[in-house]
Amino acid sequence: MSNSIIKARDVTTKFGNKVVHDKISIDVKEGEVYGILGGSGSGKTTLLREMIMLQRFKSGSIEILGQRIGHLSHKQIVELKQNWSVLFQFGALYSSLNVIENVSIPLIEYTTLPKELIEEIALSKLKMAGLKKEATYLFPSELSGGMKKRAALARALAMDPKILFLDEPTSGLDPVGAENFDRLIRELASLLKLTVIIVTHDLHTIEHVLDRFCIIFEKKILFEGTLEEAKKFEHYAIKEFLKLERG
Amino acid sequence: MNNFEVIKENSKQCNIKISQRLDKDSIKAIYSKVKKIQNQKYSFVKIDCSGMASLDYVGALMIADLSATLCENKASVVVMGMNQDSQSLLLFARKNLRQKTKVKLLKENIFISPIIKAGQYAIDSIESFIFFLSFFGETVSKFFRIILTPWKFRYKATAVHIEKSGAQALPIVALTSFLVGLVIAYQGAEQLAKFGANIFIVDMVSISMFRELSPLIAAIVIAGRSASSYTAEIGTMKITEEIDAMRSMGFDPINFLVLPRILALLIAMPLIVFFADIVGVFGGMIVAKTSLGISYTEFIIRARDVVAVKHILIGLFKAPFFGLLIATVGCFRGFQVTGSTESIGHYTTISVVNAIFWVIACNALISVVLTEIGV
């Protein structure tokens, strides 16, 4: 068994008086593709945002790569953040930069690679993400939703991160595109030895991409494990979830 | 440390030995060597990776690119000594190698491009002017239609905008107006005292505040506050497709967004100006008392005797025009926003600049006309 790369323990989150997470604990192992599942408004994205330090939680602890977040110096945070990248639900591309600049910018900021090579890397990441050649020099406002998502994935992959966080990666894609996206994530995970955390609804993703997943139900972790285990688990919510939810 | 060793066998053949690491931290040092090899006419290149300890995607991509370029130059390339992981990574990099597309950059001619730009600017201005006319026309026609069907009017939204753009602006209007009244009286007091014409401070402050300054100050403050917020609000709605959603549901954005804002300012502006009048003159009164020794009672009695009501009315008469102008410009620029978040900033800036300019221009026009007809 490989080590846990992310360890969440008793994380409690409150918005005002409303409890979102009540002492939830999960483990993500190195090199696996891990899913965070749950109904709308169950706090999946919130949990993701807490892991990537965009949101604070009330109590409990989250450890990433052996470092306990919330107790780090500014310098440690900057270094730690270089280990992961995030694909936001709607892409979140920088609107003042064109596609290739969007992909290049982390490389320009954080590495000393020559310009030519950066461009080459950016082009190859765009191809990897399945974006058409013609879109390379367009601005985000000129892209369709699916193209934005692909460009954003290319940006997320630019730095070859150890951990990749994906927030509903297949929502807004056509079925064929979504399937290709799923296959791509699988391929990337095995070739680049990525650990991938996916927040998703998509049944196809759950079946074909995830190694393990957790289901958030009524503020708690209802289940954590593989699909086979989930199918054996007797609970109406899981049965319904794995049958009905579509991306 | 030499992790990228080039051994030239002869002019046709060369061996490359890669050792230790080949990743994004170590590539910078060897990149010039790689470029050099790419430019030479080899017919056989052997890349030996048996001594390589680790390879990342950037390194794999570099090898893939190097061999692709060499192959294009009709060289045969052999990569050997890679372990299984590196091999599959290289394969993956090869698959994703994309040659640069040559982008045709139009060369700018320094003599012609200013003319092109000027022409473009003129065309844009004309288009924007026509768009403004149609926007204003549509608003006016929708306004008359709403008069016929008053139950469709958005009273609640209008009230909200009166509060946001009117009532909440009072503190800042009060402060600016008070300070302007104070400063005018202060500067005037010194001059008037030289002639012993102290009491004329009342005429000066009251008439200038009522007739010109209060309306102008109020309008400029409101232009800065509300024209910008209207543009930003509507612009954001346009980007997030809220306006498209309204249209598709058969809600008219003019009815929903524009008319309440325009009416709110039409109603609020005269009230704001009246408020500014009071505070401004009060500022003058304080200076009159402290530096010229004219008591508040004296000031008010003198004002009642010499300041005609028409001055106040003229100031109040201008206010709704300014309100109309500010709201229309603010909304119009909001509808011009397209695509990116940058364009919101762009049009918000334009909207405030336009609103302030047109308020001042309109004020000058009204002044000239009223003076000419002898009011």
A133 interaction partners in chain B (CB closer than 8 Å): 98, 101
Instruction: Tell me the nearest-neighbour CA distance from A243 into chain B, angstroms.
Output: 32
- The residue with tokens 């003019």 is B254
Of A47-56, A126-135, A141-150, B234-243, the range with the highest mean pLDDT is B234-243
Residues 198-227 in A contacting B (C-alpha not used; CB under 8 Å): none
| Cβ <8 Å between A112 and B28 | yes
Among partner residues A123, A140, A141, which is closest to B100 by beta-carbon distance?
A123
| Cβ <8 Å between B96 and A192 | no
Architecture of domain B4-95 in this structure: 2-Layer Sandwich (3.30)
**Which class for B177: exposed (0-12), middle (13-18), buried (19 or more C-beta within 10 A)?**
buried
Q: Is B22 on the interface with A (CB under 8 A)?
A: no
Which of A82, A117, A160 is the mutation pick for testing B, counting most B CBs within 10 A?
A117
- The tokens describing B295, both together, are 């008591």
Give the CATH class of A4-83+163-244.
Answer: alpha beta
Q: Which helix (H) or strand (E) holds B35?
A: helix B27-39
- The tokens describing B227, both together, are 């024209």
The full length of chain B comes to: 375
B92 interaction partners in chain A (CB closer than 8 Å): 187, 191
Q: Is B97 on the interface with A (CB under 8 A)?
A: yes
Closest CA to A117 of B213, B55, B23, B294: B23
Question: For residues B351 and B326, what is the distance between their CA atoms, to the nearest angstrom?
Answer: 9
Task: Return residue ranges of chain A for CATH 3.40.50.300.
Answer: 4-83+163-244
| Cβ <8 Å between B31 and A121 | no
Question: For residues A213 and B337, what is the distance between their CA atoms, to the nearest angstrom?
Answer: 43
DSSP A157-178: HTT--SEEEEESTTTTS-HHHH
- The residue with tokens 């007797």 is A234
Indicate whether A243 pLDDT > 80: no
B342 interaction partners in chain A (CB closer than 8 Å): 95-96
B99 interaction partners in chain A (CB closer than 8 Å): 123
What is the reported pLDDT for A246? 42
**Which class for A43: exposed (0-12), middle (13-18), buried (19 or more C-beta within 10 A)?**
buried
DSSP chain A: -PPEEEEEEEEEEEETTEEEEEEEEEEEETT-EEEEEE-TTSSHHHHHHHHTTSS--SEEEEEETTEETTS--HHHHHHHHTTEEEE-TT----TTS-HHHHHHHHHHHH----HHHHHHHHHHHHHHTT--GGGTT--GGGS-HHHHHHHHHHHHHTT--SEEEEESTTTTS-HHHHHHHHHHHHHHHHHTT-EEEEE---HHHHHHT-SEEEEEETTEEEEEE-HHHHHHS--HHHHHHHHH---
**More confident position, B253 or A236:** B253
Q: What is the average pLDDT score of chain A?
A: 83
Cβ–Cβ < 8 Å for A222, A238: yes
Paired strand residues for B304? none
Indicate whether A1 pLDDT > 50: no
| Cβ <8 Å between B28 and A121 | no
- The tokens describing B323, both together, are 């309100």
| Cβ <8 Å between B96 and A128 | yes
In order along chain B (375 residues), what is the average pLDDT of each group of 10 residues?
A: 74 81 80 79 82 83 84 82 83 79 67 89 93 94 91 90 94 96 92 88 93 94 95 92 86 91 95 96 94 91 91 94 96 90 91 95 93 86
Residues 128-187 in A contacting B (C-alpha not used; CB under 8 Å): 128, 133, 136-137, 139-142, 160, 187
| Cβ <8 Å between A124 and B338 | no
- The tokens describing B244, both together, are 């498209």
Q: Is A126 on the interface with B (CB under 8 A)?
A: yes
Secondary structure of B206-220 in the HEC alphabet?
HHHHHHHHHHHHHHH
Question: For residues A241 and A222, what is the distance between their CA atoms, to the nearest angstrom?
Answer: 12
Residue B91: closest C-alpha in chain A = A191
Residue B26: closest C-alpha in chain A = A113
Among partner residues B57, B101, B340, which is closest to A160 by beta-carbon distance?
B57
| Cβ <8 Å between A127 and B96 | yes
Amino acid at A73: S
| Cβ <8 Å between B61 and A121 | yes
Complex prediction ipTM: 0.72
- The tokens describing A57, both together, are 């939680």
What is the reported pLDDT for B314? 93
DSSP B219-283: HHHHIIIIIHHHHHHHHHHHHTTHHHHHHHTT--HIIIIIHHHHHHHHHHHHHHHHHHHHHHHHH
Question: For residues A245 and A36, what is the distance between their CA atoms, to the nearest angstrom?
Answer: 13
Instruction: Tell me the nearest-neighbour CA distance from A225 into chain B, angstroms.
Output: 28
- The residue with tokens 């004002």 is B303
Q: Is A123 on the interface with B (CB under 8 A)?
A: yes
A140 interaction partners in chain B (CB closer than 8 Å): 340
- Chain pair A-B, CB pairs under 8 angstroms: 64
List CB contacts of A170: < 8 A, sequence separation 6 or more: A177, A178, A181, A182, A200, A202, A204, A205, A247
Cβ–Cβ < 8 Å for B322, B269: yes
The full length of chain A comes to: 247
For range A10-35, the mean pLDDT: 86
| Cβ <8 Å between B340 and A160 | no
Least confident of A63-77, A233-247, B293-307, B332-346: A233-247
For residue B145, the SS3 value is helix
B62 interaction partners in chain A (CB closer than 8 Å): 117
| Cβ <8 Å between B340 and A95 | yes
Paired strand residues for A6? A28, A64
Q: Which helix (H) or strand (E) holds B148?
A: helix B113-148
Q: Is A95 on the interface with B (CB under 8 A)?
A: yes
**Cβ-count burial B1-26 (b if 16+ within 10 Å, e if not):** eebbeeeeeeeeebebbbbebbbbeb
Cβ–Cβ < 8 Å for B47, B80: yes
Cβ–Cβ < 8 Å for A142, A104: no
A128 interaction partners in chain B (CB closer than 8 Å): 96
Question: For residues B7 and B129, what is the distance between their CA atoms, to the nearest angstrom?
Answer: 69
What is the reported pLDDT for B75? 81
What is the reported pLDDT for B101? 64
What is the reported pLDDT for B348? 95
Order of strands across the sheet that contains A59-64: A18-29, A4-15, A59-64, A67-68
Which whole-number Å values give the CA distances from A28 to A13, A48, A59, A133, B205, in the listed order?
19, 12, 20, 36, 75
Question: For residues B64 and B15, what is the distance between their CA atoms, to the nearest angstrom?
Answer: 16
